[in-house]
């Protein structure tokens, strides 16, 4: 299997399966001299970990991070930074009835066709658990970005058909669905409960903003900044779409409306979402990502087994009835990985 590495100068390689002994990450390219706060890494992992609320999977993992290398006396040394989390609450018996048939909507069928073998216990590497080490690496990236004045925050904009009517950044972490609008949180939770009662699941939309990003990040041809963010965010299991600034709505706007006027005091609007021509323009980078409803549902579904025979399955076990709240820190992490890589690359863009 290839594709376990992401980034160029800030290069992240992850490994590990959901029901194996643990998960790890090695980051190449962390500049020496950063005072790294391990509590910040743990805080981000806690925001993503399973079992964190009454609307998340009931699997209980502490996701305690061990930093194995790359740090001395709390400061990065410039050597490979390695981190590890051990799995403690695998329950592989949940997957006994799925060993030879494919869960609709999950990665089983594609894995089997590609490799001829698959880790049916929790989906192995296709599990959402794989995203834990992205968050650990993203947290290191965020600490570096803070050094350059860049901050990133994601939040739930829509869940189960319920919209956040406002964006209150300070309130996001105070409600369990990470709604940008705390007043909409109860209706979102009710939408999750209603789907669960019917052995079903719901999806939603995550919005992410990066503030303080200097103008000039991103390469103008294949490595456009928006293309790299799209790559990063679409690589998160369950994310199905992404749009920047006015996004798909731009298709119905006139140029005179969609263009962001430039004045001596800066841009007067942000339809571009902070990126034009693949290069950041100094405006807030703003994008939205669509998350599908969780594929693992107890409702009966039609599928086939490895021999090709028709089977009806019901997926039991401990699943998130909605992936959105726990994916919020993952979206932040993937955005941080792209921005720090672009920022480091930009330091050699001209004399
Ligand atoms: C944080 C997180 C948790 C997830 N938890 C589950 C889960 O409990 N059950 C499930 O079926 N999929 C879960 N997923 C989604 C699967 O990883 C994803 O559906 C699978 O890879 C196939 O979807 P894809 O085609 O979008 O990659 C989770 C994803 C994330 C990011
Ligand atoms: C464990 C995590 O999420 C898991 C993602 C997942 C899936 O099918 O993607 C299935 C469930 O795990 P399992 O059934 O293997 O116990 C989730 O709990 C995690 O995010 O840390």
Q: Which protein residue has the closest C-alpha to ligand 1 atom 8?
A: 319
Q: Is the pLDDT of residue 264 over 90?
A: yes
Does residue 56's CB lie within 6 angstroms of at least one atom of ligand 2?
no
Model confidence at 188, pLDDT cuts 50, 70, 90, reads very high
Q: How far is the CA of 46 from the centre of ligand 1 (A)?
A: 18
Model ipTM value:
0.98
- What's the rounded mean pLDDT across residues 329-335? 99
Does residue 158's CB lie within 6 angstroms of at least one atom of ligand 1?
no
Q: 159-168, pLDDT tens digit by residue?
A: 999 999 999 9
Among all ligands shown, which has an atom nearest to the Cα of 320?
1
Which is the closest atom of ligand 2 to the Cα of 106? 8
Specify the pTM: 0.98
Which is the closest atom of ligand 2 to the Cα of 18? 15
pLDDT at 96: 87
Does residue 47's CB lie within 6 angstroms of at least one atom of ligand 2?
no
Does residue 51's CB lie within 6 angstroms of at least one atom of ligand 2?
no
Q: Is the pLDDT of residue 154 over 90?
A: yes
Q: Is 127 annotated as a binding residue?
A: yes
Q: Is the pLDDT of residue 342 over 90?
A: yes
Q: Is 246 annotated as a binding residue?
A: no
pLDDT at 336: 99
Q: How far is the CA of 146 from the centre of ligand 1 (A)?
A: 30
- Rounded Cα distance between 210 and 339, Å, is 9
Q: Is 139 annotated as a binding residue?
A: no
* The two structure tokens encoding residue 22: 């643990």
| Angle, helices 324-346/38-48, rounded to nearest 10 degrees | 140
Does residue 318's CB lie within 6 angstroms of at least one atom of ligand 2?
yes
Does residue 61's CB lie within 6 angstroms of at least one atom of ligand 2?
yes
Does residue 296's CB lie within 6 angstroms of at least one atom of ligand 2?
yes
CA 47 from chain centre, in angstroms, equals 12
Q: Is 293 annotated as a binding residue?
A: yes
Among all ligands shown, which has an atom nearest to the Cα of 328?
1
Does residue 294's CB lie within 6 angstroms of at least one atom of ligand 1?
yes
pLDDT at 60: 94
- What's the rounded mean pLDDT across residues 34-44? 98
- Interior CA angle at 320 toward 234 and 227, to 5°? 10
CB half-sphere exposure, 131, CA atoms < 13 A:
27
Pairing relationship of beta strands 22-28 and 75-76 according to DSSP bridges: unpaired
Query: pLDDT over 90 for what percent of the chain?
Result: 98
Q: For the chain, what is the mean pLDDT?
A: 97
Q: Which residues pair with 158 in a beta bridge?
A: 163, 205
What is the 3-class SS of 112-155, one letter each residue? HHHHCCCCCCCCHHHCHHHHHHHHHHHHHHHHHHHHCCCEEEEE
Q: Is 118 annotated as a binding residue?
A: no
> What is the dihedral sign for C-alpha 98, 241, 132, 57?
negative
- What's the rounded mean pLDDT across residues 273-293? 98
Q: Is 33 annotated as a binding residue?
A: no
Does residue 328's CB lie within 6 angstroms of at least one atom of ligand 1?
no
pLDDT at 92: 92
Among all ligands shown, which has an atom nearest to the Cα of 88?
2
- What's the rounded mean pLDDT across residues 107-136? 95
Phi, psi (5° rounding) for residue 49? -65, 155
- Extended strands (E) in the chain: 5-6, 11-16, 22-28, 66-69, 71-72, 75-76, 81-86, 151-159, 162-163, 204-211, 239-244, 262-263, 266-267, 275-276, 279-280, 285-291, 301-304, 310-313
Q: Which protein residue has the closest C-alpha to ligand 2 atom 21?
A: 129
Q: Is the pLDDT of residue 346 over 90?
A: yes
pLDDT at 254: 98
Cα 134 to Cα 139, 283, 295: the distances in Å are 8, 26, 21
pLDDT at 97: 85
Q: How far is the CA of 237 from the centre of ligand 1 (A)?
A: 5
Domain 5-346 has CATH 3.60.150.10: yes
Q: 47-103, pLDDT tens digit by residue?
A: 999 999 999 999 999 999 999 999 999 999 999 999 999 999 999 998 988 899 999
Pairing relationship of beta strands 310-313 and 301-304 according to DSSP bridges: antiparallel
- CA-based R_g, the chain, Å: 21
- What's the rounded mean pLDDT across residues 142-168? 98
Does residue 57's CB lie within 6 angstroms of at least one atom of ligand 2?
yes
Model confidence at 295, pLDDT cuts 50, 70, 90, reads very high
């Amino acid at each position: 299997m290839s594709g376990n590495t992401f980034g160029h100068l800030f290069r992240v390689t992850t490994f590990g399966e959901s029901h194996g002994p643990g998960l790890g990450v090695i980051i190449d390219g962390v500049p020496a001299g950063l005072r790294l706060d391990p509590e910040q890494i743990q805080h981000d992992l806690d925001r993503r970990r399973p079992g964190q609320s009454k609307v998340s999977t009931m699997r209980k993992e502490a996701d305690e991070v061990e930093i194995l290398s790359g740090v001395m006396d709390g400061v990065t040394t410039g050597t490979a930074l390695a981190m590890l989390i051990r799995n403690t609450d695998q329950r592989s018996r949940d997957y006994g009835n799925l060993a030879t048939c494919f869960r609709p909507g999950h990665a089983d069928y594609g894995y089997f066709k590609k490799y001829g073998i698959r880790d049916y216990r929790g989906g192995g590497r296709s599990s959402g658990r794989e995203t834990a080490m992205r968050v650990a690496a993203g947290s290191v990236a965020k600490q570096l970005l803070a050094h350059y004045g860049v901050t990133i925050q994601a939040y739930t904009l829509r869940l189960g058909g319920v919209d956040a009517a406002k964006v209150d950044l300070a309130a996001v972490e105070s409600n369990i669905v990470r709604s940008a609008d705390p007043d909409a949180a109860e209706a979102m939770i009710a939408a999750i409960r209603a789907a669960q009662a019917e052995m079903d699941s719901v999806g939603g939309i995550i919005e992410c903003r990066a503030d303080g990003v200097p103008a000039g990040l991103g390469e103008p041809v294949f490595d456009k900044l928006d293309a790299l963010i799209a790559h990063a965010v679409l690589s998160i299991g369950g994310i199905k779409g992404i749009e920047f600034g006015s996004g798909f709505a731009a298709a119905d706007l006139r140029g005179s409306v969609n263009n962001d006027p430039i004045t001596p005091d800066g841009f007067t609007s942000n339809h571009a979402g902070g990126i034009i021509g693949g290069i950041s323009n100094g405006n807030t980078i703003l994008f939205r990502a669509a998350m599908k409803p969780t594929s693992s549902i107890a409702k009966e579904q039609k599928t086939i087994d490895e021999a090709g025979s028709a089977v009806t399955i019901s997926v039991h076990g401990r699943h998130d009835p909605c992936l959105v709240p726990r994916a919020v820190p993952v979206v932040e992490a993937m955005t941080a990985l792209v921005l720090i890589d672009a920022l480091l690359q930009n330091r050699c863009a001209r004399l």
